Amino acid sequence: MELKERVLKVLDLLEEHYGPTKCYLNHENAWQLLIATILSAQCTDDRVNMVTKDLFKKYTSIKDFAEASQSELEKDIHSTGFFRNKAANIIACCQMLLTEYGGEVPSDIDKLTKLPGVGRKTANVVRGNVYGIPSVVVDTHVRRVSNMLGFTDSQDPVKIEFELMELLPEKNWIAYNTQIIAHGRKVCIARRPQCEVCFLADLCDYRQKTKSGEENK
């Protein structure tokens, strides 16, 4: 089966099993999602949502974060890990939003990635989920599962992003991330992928290779 044909079958099955999915980080606007995504680095979405529930009540605007005490913000976000870097980046990011972008979160990828603490992944989360701009978000789930499916053999997030942009129809770019996250959490679990019950098994490079290896024993 040609790769493009296999990709389309995978996308159809992901849609069938998970349907339209929403962003896993709770937010009410662009700046909240931006900050939540910065916090999500090396941290679970569930933990971030627990932290931002109170954080966004205490800091109710970009200005509040821009004027925050770094030591106090560090305490507020301590449980997300890497709290010193995250606090410094959030404050600097919000200051730049005020001074450079009029207090608005831009939708342009180049402007977003100029913000402290914002790489392509964070920028694409905001672009896709807030502004509806087709974007491919490459997180740990997308990197790992895309490799297992045989959609890429790279470990570099930026390279994977551009490879998936070539491979996936644009209309699937946003949904692919959240559907693959769901699949990575429920079925294709990092340390123990449930290949026996996976609805993508027949289309998966990893499963076909391990299956043929078992048969050759």
Give the model's pLDDT for residue 132: 95
CATH number for the domain formed by residue range(s) 30-129: 1.10.340.30
Mean pLDDT calculated for residue range 49-73: 98
Residue 57, pLDDT > 90, answer yes
Active site residue 121: yes
Domain boundaries of the chain, sorted by first residue: 3-21+137-215, 30-129
User: Angle formed by the axes of helices 83-100 and 30-39, to 10°?
Assistant: 150
90 and 98 in contact (C-beta within 8 Å)? no
- Candidates 110, 139, 159, 171; catalytic one: 139
Residue 211, pLDDT > 80, answer no
Active site residue 63: no
Task: Give tens-digit pLDDT for 188-208.
Answer: 999 999 999 999 999 999 998
- Candidates 63, 108, 121, 156; catalytic one: 121
CATH number for the domain formed by residue range(s) 3-21+137-215: 1.10.1670.10
Between the CA atoms of 200, 206, 207 and 208, what dihedral angle is there, to the nearest 10 degrees? 110
User: Shortest CA distance to 200 belongs to which of 2, 4, 1, 13?
Assistant: 13
Tokens coding 46:
């569930």
d(CA 120, CA 137): 8
Mean pLDDT calculated for residue range 25-53: 97
Residue 217, pLDDT > 60, answer no
